[in-house]
Amino acid sequence: MSSAGLEGVHEVVRFRRYAMVLRMRPTDTSEKVAALAAELNRSFGPERRLAQALDLTDLLRQLARAGLKSRHPEYSDEEVARALTLQFYGHVPGRK
């Protein structure tokens, strides 16, 4: 991945010949607010950042579950769980 042209828009980390984008400013957020949010996030300790990550993971799972149920109201709870596992991990354990 080339990092040319990413500076100023994203924070880029270079490792050997690869570059990884760590943060992108949402298009509906001003630069000033994005900088303030980044500063606030950096001020949090590791426990708070982990708690936020876990909360966001739970929210993602809830949204994915709700989306599956709205697209497939006929699915049982077991079928929803299987479809979520497939969506998140690309396979269902115990199946080939």
Task: Show the tokens assigned to 4.
Answer: 């040319």
How would residue 55 be classed by pLDDT, with cut points 50, 70 and 90?
Answer: very high
- Contact (CB, 8 A) for 20 and 6: no
The model's pTM is: 0.58
In this structure, the number of other CB atoms found within 10 A of the CB of residue 4 comes to 8
Q: What gap in Å lies between CA 27 and CA 30, rounded to an integer?
A: 8
pLDDT in tens, 36-45: 988 888 899 8
Q: Which of 83, 61, 63 is nearest to 72 (CA)?
A: 83
